């Protein structure tokens, strides 16, 4: 989904996409003390920032004002290859698990470190089920420590601060360092690696519309889902026993926006009004026809108001309600969305809301890293994704792979693949194999994306699936819901977790079926 396609000003979106090649900011980074042979890396001031000079050998140390020493991670085995994976989403975690599953020659199996700032892996396509109450948090957000307990993968909960790759030295004809580079974490830990995987993901982009960052809630992480659920609960408590309705505005009618609108409308029922805004004249403009028709049918049945052909110009507060929620310690705000038409001849609109949910646009986390300016710079596209070749290696860096939201992979037609879970799944599989091939001096495989179809949830016991291998087929309603849950069950990270979740879902299904049967028997008895 492009930025323009879901509720943004076309002028704002075009300006965003036309920024051109994003350069990593040149920031000062504290001194890093290495545990290998080093020469000094020199800094010199310039009008453009900090300029970096790297010794021909690729070995380096960093100088800072305070000359602070940093800790270096001691790899257990000094001879085996060292793989560092940054980011524990679909791309990062599944690459690590793929490496673990492969058969390695003696002394060639790599040591793997996985770094993520969260303690939990999040199965993002099922975040909506948290709002509907269909799943428990542990089912779709297990701890990394539990998932990796029976593997050789070492997990660090930390945030990446700086990257210092040195694999570009071989390309420029200079001596190749044994090390592929170094990662500097915010805790001060340094990780020297031979191979690096960039899988840092993306975050919601809220800074392109005035007021969005202050008043809108994104929906892409576990914390986001918990905040939305908490806000809905607070509004439900506030409106309990009153005639007023909860007003929810969803910005964007791509998959995320439609799934949110359908789920929340089902949850609130006649206690709320859900309005969805989209700059296009239809919802899901790039989805299969069957999915779009199923979504429109469900949204209509739940009385979701669609404001199509509009973009959000501004979000502002018009004063709070004066009601303080004792559990959340928050004041409920009355918000106003100023909507502008995408075409001339249509009047602008003002929309009032208690809760604004933002599903439009995302930005890669790669540009937020501190990095040097020079030959070791990671090439990024206008969206902040690393430019890769057909084997998922970053261009100019043969020891760095990029997957998922961190990767700007172009298909045979030159189009960048969308940052979806399905793409990340498949890229992780290829990245794991190509790391095996690179470490064992075998040819790398070109990545080829296989579109298996598209799925979406539309609430409890309702979903739509359009498989790509059967043209024109769409599974809707309870059948689509069951097929979607099964498809995601088999894609959960580990066999152990799949078994636990499968048993939990089966138990819940039995309980719900028994409860439904009892309700039907009660109705029959009461009617007789």
What secondary structure does DSSP assign to 452-481, as a single string?
-EEEEE-STT-EEEEETTSTT--EEHHHHH
Tokens of 350: 């003002």
Burial tier of 52 (Cβ tally within 10 Å: 0-12, 13-18, 19+): buried
Specify the pLDDT at position 375: 55
Q: Specify the residue for token string 């052909």.
A: 309
Residue 343 in this model has a pLDDT that exceeds 50: yes
Secondary structure in 3-state letters for 23-55:
CCCECCCCCCCCCCCCCCCEEEEECCEEEEECC
Nearest CA among 73, 4, 75 for reference residue 33: 73
Condensed to tens digits (0 to 9), the pLDDT of residues 231-265 reads 999 999 999 888 889 999 999 999 999 999 999 99
CA 163 distance to own-chain centroid = 21
Specify the pLDDT at position 320: 61
The gap between the terminal CA atoms of the chain, to the nearest Å, is: 54
Nearest CA among 89, 97, 137 for reference residue 117: 89
Q: Are strands 71-72 and 111-116 parallel, antiparallel or unpaired?
A: unpaired
Q: What's the whole-number mean pLDDT along residues 266-277? A: 96
Specify the pLDDT at position 9: 45
Tokens of 18: 């036309």
Specify the pLDDT at position 44: 30
DSSP string, 286-354: TS-HHHHHHHHHHHHHTTPEEEETEEEEEEEEEEEEEEEETTTTEEEEEEEEEEEESSTTS--EEEEES
Residue 47 in this model has a pLDDT that exceeds 60: no
Distance CA 218, CA 428 (A): 26
Specify the pLDDT at position 279: 96
Q: How many CB atoms lie within 10 A of CB 50?
A: 16
**% of residues, the chain, pLDDT over 90:** 69
Q: Specify the residue for token string 């604004």.
A: 356
Condensed to tens digits (0 to 9), the pLDDT of residues 126-183 reads 999 999 999 999 999 999 999 999 999 999 999 999 999 988 655 443 434 468 999 9
**CA neighbours closer than 13 Å in the CB half-sphere of residue 435:** 36
Specify the pLDDT at position 341: 95
Residue bearing the bigger pLDDT, 486 or 371: 486
Specify the pLDDT at position 107: 86
Tell me the β-bridge partners of 246.
272
Specify the pLDDT at position 528: 61
Tell me the β-bridge partners of 45.
50
Residue 364 in this model has a pLDDT that exceeds 50: yes
DSSP state of 4: G
Q: What's the whole-number mean pLDDT along residues 264-274? A: 96
Between 9-18, 89-98, 394-403, 431-440, the lowest mean confidence (pLDDT) is in 9-18
Q: Are strands 216-218 and 355-358 parallel, antiparallel or unpaired?
A: parallel
Residue 34 in this model has a pLDDT that exceeds 90: no
Q: What's the whole-number mean pLDDT along residues 463-467? A: 96
Tokens of 285: 């403009």
Residue 112 in this model has a pLDDT that exceeds 50: yes
Q: Are strands 330-341 and 310-325 parallel, antiparallel or unpaired?
A: antiparallel
Specify the pLDDT at position 38: 31
**% of residues, the chain, pLDDT over 70:** 81
Residue bearing the bigger pLDDT, 41 or 433: 433
Tokens of 32: 């890093």
Specify the pLDDT at position 325: 52
DSSP state of 177: P
Tokens of 117: 């700032």
Q: Specify the residue for token string 């990796």.
A: 148
Residue 487 in this model has a pLDDT that exceeds 90: yes
Condensed to tens digits (0 to 9), the pLDDT of residues 281-310 reads 999 999 999 999 999 999 999 999 999 999
Distance CA 181, CA 184 (A): 10
Q: What's the whole-number mean pLDDT along residues 18-32? A: 35
Nearest CA among 137, 333, 342 for reference residue 216: 333
Residues in Cβ contact with 59 at an 8 Å cutoff, skipping those fewer than 6 apart: 34, 36, 37, 38, 39, 166, 177, 179
Specify the pLDDT at position 481: 96
Provide the mean pLDDT of the chain.
84
Q: What's the whole-number mean pLDDT along residues 486-498? A: 97
Contact in structure between 58 and 174 (CB atoms under 8 Å): yes
Q: What pLDDT band is residue 376 in, cutting at 50, 70 and 90?
A: low
Tokens of 517: 């049967």
Residues in Cβ contact with 283 at an 8 Å cutoff, skipping those fewer than 6 apart: 253, 257, 258, 276, 292, 295, 296, 299, 306, 308
Specify the pLDDT at position 3: 37
Between 108-122, 262-276, 373-387, the lowest mean confidence (pLDDT) is in 373-387
Give the dihedral sign, CA 352/354/360/366: positive
Phi, psi for 236 (deg, rounded to 5): -65, -40
Q: Specify the residue for token string 């009008």.
A: 47
Q: What's the whole-number mean pLDDT along residues 465-490? A: 95
- How are strands ordered across the β-sheet holding 195-198? 154-157, 111-116, 82-86, 195-198, 400-402
Specify the pLDDT at position 372: 55
Q: What pLDDT band is residue 323 in, cutting at 50, 70 and 90?
A: low
Specify the pLDDT at position 170: 52
Angle between helices 222-239 and 255-268 (to 10 degrees): 30
Nearest CA among 24, 13, 21, 22 for reference residue 361: 13
The pTM assigned to this predicted structure is 0.83
Distance CA 177, CA 354 (A): 57
Between 27-41, 110-124, 126-140, 316-330, the lowest mean confidence (pLDDT) is in 27-41
Distance CA 280, CA 308 (A): 6
């Amino acid at each position: 989904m492009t930025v323009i396609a879901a509720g943004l000003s076309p002028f704002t979106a075009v300006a965003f996409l036309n920024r051109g090649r994003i350069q990593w900011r040149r920031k000062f980074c504290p001194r890093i003390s290495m545990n290998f042979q080093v020469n000094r890396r020199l800094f010199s001031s310039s009008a453009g920032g900090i300029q970096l000079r790297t010794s021909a050998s690729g070995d380096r140390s960093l100088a800072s004002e305070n000359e602070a020493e940093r800790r270096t991670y001691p790899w257990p085995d000094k001879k085996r290859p060292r793989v560092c994976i940054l980011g524990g989403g679909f791309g990062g975690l599944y690459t690590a698990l793929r490496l673990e599953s492969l058969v390695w020659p003696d002394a060639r199996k790599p040591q793997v470190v996985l770094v993520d700032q969260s303690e939990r892996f999040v199965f993002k396509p099922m975040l909506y089920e948290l709002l509907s109450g269909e799943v428990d948090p542990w089912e779709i957000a297990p701890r990394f420590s539990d998932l990796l307990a029976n593997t050789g993968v070492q997990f660090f909960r930390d945030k990446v601060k700086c990257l210092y790759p040195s694999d570009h030295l071989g390309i420029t004809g200079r001596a190749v360092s044994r090390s592929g580079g170094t990662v500097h974490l915010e805790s001060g830990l340094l990780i020297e690696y031979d191979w690096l995987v960039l899988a840092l993901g993306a975050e919601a982009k809220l800074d392109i519309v005035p007021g969005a960052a202050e008043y809108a809630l994104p929906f892409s992480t576990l914390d986001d889902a918990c905040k939305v659920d908490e806000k809905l609960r607070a509004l439900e408590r506030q409106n309990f026993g009153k005639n007023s309705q909860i007003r929810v505005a969803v910005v964007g009618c791509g998959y995320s926006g439609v799934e949110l609108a359908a789920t929340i409308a089902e949850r609130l029922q006649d206690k709320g009004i859900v309005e969805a805004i989209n700059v296009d004249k239809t919802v899901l403009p790039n989805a299969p026809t069957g999915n779009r028709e199923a979504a429109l049918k469900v949204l209509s049945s739940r009385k979701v108001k669609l404001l199509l052909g509009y973009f959000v110009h501004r979000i502002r507060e018009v004063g709070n309600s004066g009601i303080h929620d004792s559990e959340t310690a928050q004041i409920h705000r009355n918000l106003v969305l100023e909507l502008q038409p995408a075409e001339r001849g249509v009047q602008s609109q003002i929309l009032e809301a208690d809760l604004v949910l933002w599903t439009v646009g995302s930005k890669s986390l790669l540009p937020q890293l501190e990095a040097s300016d020079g030959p070791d710079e990671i090439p990024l596209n206008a969206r902040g994704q690393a430019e890769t070749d057909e084997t998922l290696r970053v261009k100019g860096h043969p020891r760095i792979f990029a997957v998922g939201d961190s990767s700007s992979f172009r298909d045979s037609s030159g189009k960048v693949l969308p940052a979806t879970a399905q793409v990340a799944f498949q890229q992780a599989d290829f990245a794991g194999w190509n790391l095996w091939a690179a470490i064992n001096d075998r040819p790398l495989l070109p990545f080829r994306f296989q579109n298996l179809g598209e799925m979406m949830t539309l609430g409890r016991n309702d979903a739509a699936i359009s498989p790509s291998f059967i043209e024109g087929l769409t599974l809707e309603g309870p059948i689509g819901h069951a097929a979607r849950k099964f498809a995601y069950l088999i894609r959960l990270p580990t066999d152990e977790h799949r078994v636990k979740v499968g048993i939990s879902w089966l138990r819940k299904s039995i309980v719900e079926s028994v409860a439904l049967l009892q309700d039907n028997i009660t109705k029959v008895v009461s009617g007789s």
